[in-house]
Structure 1
């Protein structure tokens, strides 16, 4: 049984494609306020693990639970509690940047959606592009819009798949602060990253993905060497 405060649990989880695993079994838990960094070499299976944890593909074996319930992508509770930012996430082509964020804010019943949207636009440096559609954004600006949509909504669990991609160093540091802020408010976060600075600043534990999967407990600010 999950301990009090545990948000996400994986028990002997095996992930892959067409019945073939891409890495070893995964077992861990993430409690409220913890940041689990998922690391490994390119192609090790990090994103496959996180996509499975987030309910975007089925596991080959094992169990994943969020708040002690099986992952169900279409379940109302799951959609209310879980936010995710993946690189392949899509936009509504006819909605502007501001309209996208308003849709998310209103859909999750924020008390003051307009002000919340303005705050995210300013934080992610896309306020001057709020009136354009996503196709008019650069790849870095689209990444910032995805992150804004992930952070604007309330959630108890956030999945971030290489959120640092196409961000400049200043925005990466701002993102680190935002992750710590959410964790400090009690959100559990699963972070796939290749950025050592982001990992060291934010992670409370580290999941190393390889043929044999290991979990390393750490403290923010400690040096982490990820590899097998």
Structure 2
């Protein structure tokens, strides 16, 4: 059961959710994405109720979940090209090339999902989410399955999105990712927020 959580994100803020497995991080992210309905209270995005079925909301929110969901018959490049076309990414071909480079997938651009390692699949999901325009980025343990070099690239990419004005809410088990990216950290335990504040202070406690 997730107990009442009162959380407000400012535009352009990055907030990290920390806590052990089962503490409520993923549930809170699903509620924020509109994929689960709260039993009480409201989830609002830019003043309006969050609704994943609303195309105006879907167009402004990018989500990276805990499932390796890719189109099985598309190569990595084709997957990103579809995202670019579907979301009207300017100069789509160049943007796809840049995404493949940024996520270490240039050498695997023509590979199908079944030919990619789990870490490469995670990179593809991250590349797809970061490629599309978004105001709010929701990530559930985006560092999972990534090696140390890829986690470092991820931290740089998320910090860049925050600097560009996107709002980030992400769950993580890696303190270094929270320290490198987040403006604020929430520590969850059994659905309760037990600590909240600047990363250095919360992580030290």
TM-score surpassing 0.5?
A: yes
Rounded to whole Å, the distance in 2 between the matches of 1:111 and 1:200 is 32
Shift of 1:43: 1.2
Assess, with a 3 A threshold, how the Cα gap between structure 1 residues 194 and 112 changes in structure 2: closer, same or farther: same
Residues 33-72 of structure 1 mapped to structure 2, 5 A cutoff: 33-72=12-51
The whole-number CA distance in structure 1 between the counterparts of 2:68 and 2:115 is 16
The count of aligned residue pairs is 204
Partner of 2:168: 189
> Among 101, 123, 132, which residue is 2:111 paired with?
132
1:111-142, CA deviations, whole angstroms, 9 ceiling, x for partnerless residues?
11111000010111111111121111110000
Instruction: Structure 1: give runs of 5+ residues left out of the alignment.
Output: 1-20
One of 130, 141, 153 as aligned partner of 1:151: 130
Q: Deviations over 1:7-63 (max 9, x none)?
A: xxxxxxxxxxxxxx2x32111111122111011111112111111111111212111
Return the match for 2:197 from 217, 225, 228: 217
**Cα distance per residue 1:136-186 (max 9 Å; x no partner):** 111000000000001001100000110111111111111111111111111
* Alpha carbons 2:143, 2:151 under 8 Å: kept: yes
- In structure 2, stretches of 5+ residues that fail to align are none
2:68–2:121 contact (8 Å) kept in structure 1? no
- Answering whether residue 141 of structure 2 is matched by residue 162 of structure 1, we say yes
CA-CA distance at 1:225 after TM superposition: 2.2
Q: Segments of 4+ in structure 1 off by > 6 A?
A: none
Contact residue 100 and residue 106 of structure 2 kept, 8 A? yes
User: Could you say which structure has the higher helix fraction?
Assistant: 2
> Which residue does 1:79 correspond to in 2?
58
Name the SS for the 2:44 alignment partner. strand
Structure with the higher strand share, 1 or 2 = 1
The answer to whether 1:201 aligns with 2:173 is no
**CA shift for structure 1 position 92:** 1.5
- Conserved? CA contact 1:121–1:148, under 8 Å: yes
Q: State the distance in 2 between where 1:145 and 1:114 align.
A: 16
Q: Which residue of 1 aligns with 2:72?
A: 93
Q: Quick one: distance in 2 between partners of 1:89 and 1:169?
A: 20
